[in-house]
Amino acid sequence: MNDRNLGPYQEDRVYQGDATRLIRDLPDSAIDLLVTDPPFAIDFRAQRLNYNRTGSNVLEGYQEIAGDEYESFTREWMSEAYRVLSPSGSMYVFSGWNHLKDILGGLDGVGFTTQNHLIWKYQFGVFTKKKYVTSHYHVLFVVKDPKRYTFNKVEHYPEDVWDIKREYWKGRKKTPTKLPSEIVRKILRFSSNPGDIVLDPFLGSGTVAVTAKEMGRHFIGFEVVEDYLSFANERLSGTVWNSYTGNG
Ligand SMILES: C[S@@+](CC[C@H](N)C(=O)[O-])C[C@H]1O[C@@H](n2cnc3c(N)ncnc32)[C@H](O)[C@@H]1O
């Protein structure tokens, strides 16, 4: 029996559409934790050439945001994220360095308090000529109320640099970007409890929802690309390989 008010949505479901619109229908304070890897303002099609992948396995349609719209796009979804988070809620936002200033400005601007600026270090075998290979993401851990938020004692001295490998789905259907389950598991262990509800408004292949489900958390997710949403639903129903359980 679900006594949580999610407006027109149901827990443990993912929805197709523009997150900046769909999130408006979520009631205030409905969400315990928001974990998201929003689209980046880079030309992802060019980037994709750098990936060691068979193009035909990559689902088409990845939605990018134009660089000059990124600041307003960021501000739009973040102010809604602030509204829908419970007073003791927290949020993790992944960002490349390119438009980090928009992400940081948005977080401050809508009222979040930054608790940590985490660095996710990953391996990336791309050739560069006159600069360094980018092998990290920024992960902003922010809260509404620094005096009251969930932070479980999972490790004694949790550090802010996380060395976690990307997962490659060789020969399997996939979306062009995907968070490793391990990093999402770590976030959920520290910043949520069983039964909490976790939102990812930019779901992609559904890693946040799939991991939440596996860990006994409730989830809700939005994704604009229909094929990605179907793929996320396949993962949720266990009909495709799932990295956490190692099936298939
Ligand atoms: C970086 S990917 C997320 C990857 C995801 N964390 C995973 O593990 O698969 C960002 C996603 O946001 C989606 N997207 C872009 N604009 C959107 C919008 N306005 N509303 C909802 N989804 C959007 C893209 O299609 C893409 O799948």
pLDDT (tens digit, 9 = 90+) per residue, 167-196?
876 656 666 678 999 999 999 999 999 999
List, chain by chain if needed, residues with CB within 6 Å of any ligand 1 atom.
Answer: 18-20, 37, 39, 62-63, 175, 177-179, 202, 204-205, 207, 222-225, 228
Query: How many angstroms does the Cα of residue 38 sit away from the middle of ligand 1?
Result: 6
Tokens describing residue 220: 């809700």
Other CB atoms within 10 A of residue 10 CB: 12
Q: What CATH number was assigned to the domain covering residues 13-236? A: 3.40.50.150
Question: Which tens digits make up the pLDDT trace of 135-167?
Answer: 999 999 999 999 999 999 999 999 999 999 988
The model's pTM: 0.90
Q: By mean pLDDT, which of 20-24, 152-156, 169-173, 197-201 is the weakest?
A: 169-173
Query: How many angstroms does the Cα of residue 155 sit away from the middle of ligand 1?
Result: 30
Question: To test the ligand 1 pocket, which listed residue (44, 63, 241) has its Cβ within 8 A of the most ligand atoms?
Answer: 63
Using only C-alpha atoms, what is the Rg of the chain? Answer: 17
Q: Whose CA is closest to atom 26 on ligand 1?
A: 204
Query: How many angstroms does the Cα of residue 7 sit away from the middle of ligand 1?
Result: 22
Residue 5 contacts residue 27 (beta carbons within 8 Å): yes
List the chain domain ranges.
Answer: 13-236
Q: What are phi and psi of 165, to 5 degrees?
A: -75, 145
**Torsion sign (Cα): 139, 144, 147, 150:** negative
